[in-house]
Amino acid sequence: MKFAAPSAELVEKLVIANRILFNQGVVDGFGHVSVRHDKSPEHFLLSCNRAPGLVKRADILTYGMDGELAVESNQRSYLERYIHSEIYRSRPDVMSVVHSHSVSVIPFGVTGQRLRPIFHMSGFLGSGSALFEISDAAGNTDLLIRNTGLGKALAESLGKHNCVLMRGHGSTVVGPSLESAVYRAIYAEENAKLQLSANALGPIRFLNEEEAELAMITVEGQVIRPWELWSKSIGQIE
């Protein structure tokens, strides 16, 4: 290995992140979360092909910016690992990526509507989510990001946003830390539910861009608080 092993703390934190996302209903048998390697920024950590609620320390593998394993392993990889590799490649500020199919977000992608910050907890949505249309990149597909070309096209759609909706599939959120990416994945789903219900009452006054930025700084500066709470309810990890 030409690079250092990740810290045991980071590996454990990624296991906890997987379990939190499952517990909070963001991922089910599918979906995944990764974190940039703490000792080698050209690598990232991601579980082998395992349901997030079952991920254990031994499942955490190291990948390179090409989306391929950087360590020897007999474990299968997630088909959509290129979501992670291409976002880390194009966004040096991103330290963690969560990809999910959380259901309340789906109606927005298929109607071309953006998620916009409906309350202070989702200031990370800024001026609104980005939208990825896979058929623009590859025509008719199974909707999965299964190679570097599709990963690159997705990363281009994400641009400088923190959240990209994937039409007919799900969404991907990014953050400057593992805790913040998990937080954002949970609150993207919450925001979608609230946006759907408020829309039935009338036109929504969303946070404007400056309000969103200010709220994000305040709330995400305290992201350890909900992280501690969510960590308590995941049970024992292996």
Give me the active site residues, please.
80
> Tokens in use for 187?
């609150």
* Under 8 Å between Cβ of 30 and 55: no
Q: Provide the pairing of β-strand 130-132 with 163-166.
A: parallel
Tell me if residue 191 falls in helix, strand or coil. Answer: helix
Dihedral angle sign, alpha carbons of residues 215, 217, 218, 221: positive
Residue 32 pairs in a beta bridge with 99
Instruction: Return the exposure string of 59-77: e unless at least 16 CB atoms fall within 10 Å of the residue's CB, then b.
Output: bbbbbbbebebbeeeeeeb
* Residue type at position 182: V
